[in-house]
A and B are shown apart, each in its own frame.
Chain A
């Protein structure tokens, strides 16, 4: 365990050294990340000029959900590069062979090699939005809400990882460019609004098949004290472990039959 911990920090240190060489690029990356969030925020501001509630949810509540949504989104963004490049870089170009030759878990290496720290800026934006909207709503915070938020965020991040890693691992069987990942990427945005705005089919899809309701709406509803969603909120870590478990199972089965691209 300690070995993996040290390895993790070595990768982070190497990454930071590399990025700090190009400070202007780094800054530009950080700023754009924040700017891109502004599209969603401006949209919501305009919408709430027209109506007081969205499917029974007030402006501050919808903003709070969005603020929460940014946390797992940011963490997944920091960890997702390896998953994102998996078919292209690791299968087609054969870099997976290199990972498999080392005495370290291949999935762990895949994620570490792609780590990026800039997306973590989203954590600051997310917390800021939650503090502001939570304050406006007068939410009463209890002592265990903070550890619970950490737990739910971890669950949501695992949901992300589970879904996209599963899609990437399909590359083991079908080593063409499936493009499934970018194709389904935008679906994650559906998770940041109350599920009441969707029709029944989409609600089932977002709860059970591509469970993106668990990366934003369901867990956030807990902190908004919406009792009706309590079970869903608390299901988030379970869903995360389940989704990630499926992904790891697919990954293991894939590794077993992997025979290299021959390059």
Chain B
């Protein structure tokens, strides 16, 4: 099966760079640490803020950054670069679907990031900072599922913004706006319920919260049982919606292809 092979190849490519093994963990520990110290100072001698204890906040930050070490990829830039250079034309005559190929190689990278960065990174974070790991296996199960969905939402969102290059020729500004929106509105460095109410209303209608906030809240125990399932249901709805959008864009793009100076 060609797609399984593509996952394997990307995984092995990541594996080839020895530096990759620890650089990811180190980088994400620096991120986690920065926000951990900031939030610790915010908590100071308070036990709870916005319904979260200091321990829950530390856990939120650790799981938030470590999950990002798993789902993050540059799919948008990869697609945009191939469109701009014209390499996409060669890819189109290959005997597999271009878009599916991109998504599965992102999965190969994600697999590497999961095994070499996220899992050991979480262990290091739990060692360095007072992280409160969940005790119930059900929480881990739900969170693993939500994490996978987060990966899909992020990858599809990247695919959408990468494909926009077909129509806009240089959509770099849009991609930057997207990555900024993802950082700010996904709940990466603070739980979204700390934002003012009007902003929370807007965020509820956007896909970003399903990438970070919802899985993190499942991990910290802020979303349990029925609420956790509702969150995963929302993620699934976004996966379906974004997949449909990606596919439509792709069908239109193929007809529209203009290789820029290829």
Chain B residue total in the interface (Cβ 8 A): 30
Q: Is the CB of B37 within 8 A of A197?
A: yes
What are the interface flags for A19-40 relative to B under an 8 Å C-beta threshold, 1 for contact and 0 otherwise? 0000011001001100110110
What are the interface flags for B28-41 relative to A under an 8 Å C-beta threshold, 1 for contact and 0 otherwise? 00110110011011
Q: From residue A90, how far is it (CB to closest CB) to chain B in Å?
A: 19
Tell me, yes or no, whether B145 is within 8 Å of chain A by CB: no
Q: Is the CB of B19 within 8 A of A179?
A: yes
What are the interface flags for B139-153 relative to A under an 8 Å C-beta threshold, 1 for contact and 0 otherwise? 000000000000000
Instruction: Give the interface size bracket for A toward B.
Output: 20 to 34
Q: Is the CB of B180 within 8 A of A186?
A: no
What are the interface flags for A177-214 relative to B under an 8 Å C-beta threshold, 1 for contact and 0 otherwise? 11100110011011001001111001000000000000
Q: Is the CB of A28 within 8 A of B172?
A: yes
Q: Is the CB of B34 within 8 A of A183?
A: no
Q: Which of A55, A186, A198, A199 contacts B30 (CB 8 A)?
A: A186
Point out the residues of chain B lying under 8 angstroms from A47, CB to CB.
Answer: 38, 42, 190
Tell me, yes or no, whether A49 is within 8 Å of chain B by CB: yes
CA distance A183 to B27 in the complex (A): 6
Point out the residues of chain B lying under 8 angstroms from A51, CB to CB.
Answer: 42, 44, 46, 49
Using A43-B190, A179-B23 as known contacts, say yes or no to A24 and B30 having CB atoms under 8 A apart.
Answer: no
Q: Which of A49, A189, A196 contacts B34 (CB 8 A)?
A: A189
CA distance A31 to B189 in the complex (A): 23
Q: From residue B247, how far is it (CB to closest CB) to chain A in Å?
A: 29
Q: Is the CB of A31 within 8 A of B27?
A: no
Q: Is the CB of A50 within 8 A of B176?
A: no
Tell me, yes or no, whether B137 is within 8 Å of chain A by CB: no
Point out the residues of chain B lying under 8 angstroms from A32, CB to CB.
Answer: 173, 176, 180
Q: Which of A163-179 contact B (CB under 8 A)?
A: 177-179
Q: From residue B191, how far is it (CB to closest CB) to chain A in Å?
A: 10
Q: From residue A33, how far is it (CB to closest CB) to chain B in Å?
A: 10
